[in-house]
Structure 1
Amino acid sequence: MNTLIFRTIAPLLVVVMIVFSVFVMLRGHNEPGGGFIGGLIAASAIAIYGMAAGPTAVRKALKADPITFAGFGVVLAGLSGLLSMAFELPFLTGLWLELHLGDAKVPISTPMFFDIGVYFVVFGTVSAIALGLEDEEGQG
Structure 2
Amino acid sequence: MNQQSLILRTTGRFLLPLLLLFSLFLLLRGHNEPGGGFIGGLVAAAAVSLHLFVMGTNAARRVLRLTPRDLIGWGLTTGVLSAVPSTLLGEAFFTALWFEITLPLLGELKLGTPLFFDLGVYMVVVGSVLTIVLNLAEES
Same fold (TM > 0.5): yes
Q: For residue 108 of structure 1, what is the aligned residue in structure 2? A: 111
Q: For residue 84 of structure 2, what is the aligned residue in structure 1? A: 82
When the two chains are superposed, the root-mean-square deviation of aligned CA atoms in Å is: 1.6
Q: Which runs of 4+ in 1 moved over 4 A?
A: none
Write out per-residue CA displacement over residues 72-108 of structure 1, whole angstroms, 9 at most, x where no aligned residue: 0100000001221111111101111111235832101
Aligned-pair distance for 1:121? 0.6
**1:110 alignment partner AA:** T
Aligned pair 1:57/2:59, yes or no? yes
Distance in structure 1 (CA, Å) of the matches to 2:85 and 2:74: 16
Gaps of 5+ in 2: none
Gaps of 5+ in 1: none
Distance in structure 2 (CA, Å) of the matches to 1:26 and 1:76: 15
TM-score (norm 2): 0.91
**2:30 alignment partner AA:** G
TM-score (norm 1): 0.91
Q: For residue 27 of structure 1, what is the aligned residue in structure 2? A: 29
* Identity between Structure 1 and Structure 2 (%): 42
Distance in structure 2 (CA, Å) of the matches to 1:109 and 1:86: 15
Write out per-residue CA displacement over residues 19-70 of structure 1, whole angstroms, 9 at most, x where no aligned residue: 0000011011111100000000000001100000111221133222111111
Q: For residue 133 of structure 1, what is the aligned residue in structure 2? A: 136
Distance in structure 2 (CA, Å) of the matches to 1:52 and 1:96: 42
Size of the aligned set, in residue pairs, is: 137
SS of the aligned residue for 2:94 comes to coil
Aligned pair 1:117/2:120, yes or no? yes
Distance in structure 1 (CA, Å) of the matches to 2:42 and 2:108: 30
